[in-house]
Amino acid sequence: MGILDWFYKRKLSRWLKKLFNKEKAKIGLYGPPNAGKTTLANKIVRDWSGDVLGPVSEIPHETRKTKMEEGIEINSNNASLELDIIDTPGITTKVDFEDFVKKYELDEEEAKRRAREATEGVVDAINWLDDVDAILLIMDSTKDPYNQVNVTMIGNMEARKIPFIIVANKVDLEDSSPENIDDAFPDHPVVPISALEGENVEELYNKMISHFG
């Protein structure tokens, strides 16, 4: 066998293995700013590797670049799923540097830098939709689920036929209403959790394995 024949045979073998025997799933965490994406990403990574993925802040758009942790294997009920966790910047329809100045008392230079990086992050997150195998769509269960980001993301995922689970986060808060999310999107799986407290995260792992495996 010539070198070129060997090369193309090996390349074909890898392509077939990827197509029919995918070893890992790329799971993107998406949602509006401050919905708890990075908190959940850190929880998943910490549970199964002992590491963390990124810092968490009350200031929106703390995650301004996509971050990925590869080779995480989750196990539940004698089943497992190997995945790459992709923590994306918050999706929003508007980024205004004046919001950072007024609400979070940042100086104008820092606010403009954050706004510019946040805008670039939104574009980066949307571009990643072409490369993910499945999505955890994180929603803040203390807020109205019918916002433009949630509705647009669900429409986008349906159009692209990307499997997804809606994560109703922050159920540890007193004004949480995960049932509102369930009522808003009855055609899709919804798992209520507290990523911060770890509440019901085991059920999320079960759903991820059954839905994405």
pLDDT of residue 123: 82
Is the residue at 63 inside a domain?
yes
- Which residues lie across from 166 on neighbouring strands? 137, 190
| Torsion from C-alpha of 119, 212, 83, 193, nearest 10 degrees | 70
Is the residue at 19 inside a domain?
no
* pTM across the whole model: 0.78
With contact defined as beta carbons under 8 Å apart, do 124 and 68 qualify? no
Domain that holds residue 91: 24-212
Q: Rounded to 5 degrees, what angle do the CA atoms 64, 69, 75 make?
A: 130
Is the residue at 34 inside a domain?
yes
Both structure tokens of 67: 């971050």
pLDDT of residue 182: 97
Is the residue at 173 inside a domain?
yes
Is the residue at 139 inside a domain?
yes
Name the CA radius of gyration of the chain, rounded: 19
Is the residue at 144 inside a domain?
yes
Question: DSSP readout, 89-141?
Answer: PPP-S---HHHHHHHH---HHHHHHHHHHHHHHHHHHHHGGGT-SEEEEEEET
| DSSP collapsed to 3 states, 96-110 | CHHHHHHHHCCCHHH
Is the residue at 3 inside a domain?
no
pLDDT of residue 10: 44
Displacement of CA 2 from its chain's centroid (Å): 45
With contact defined as beta carbons under 8 Å apart, do 180 and 149 qualify? no
- Cα–Cα distance list, 184 to 2, 146, 166, 190 (Å): 60, 7, 11, 10
Is the residue at 14 inside a domain?
no
Instruction: Identify residue 156 by its one-letter amino acid code.
Output: N
Q: Rounded to 5 degrees, what angle do the CA atoms 208, 194, 70 make?
A: 45
> Which CATH number goes with the domain that contains 158?
3.40.50.300
Total structural domains within the chain: 1
Secondary structure class of 209 (helix, strand, coil): helix
**What is the residue-level pLDDT of the chain in tens, covering all 213 positions?**
444 454 444 444 444 444 444 457 999 999 988 899 999 999 999 999 876 665 555 544 455 578 899 999 999 888 999 999 999 988 876 655 555 555 556 677 777 777 777 777 778 888 889 999 999 999 999 999 999 889 999 999 999 999 999 999 999 999 999 999 999 999 999 999 999 999 999 999 999 999 997
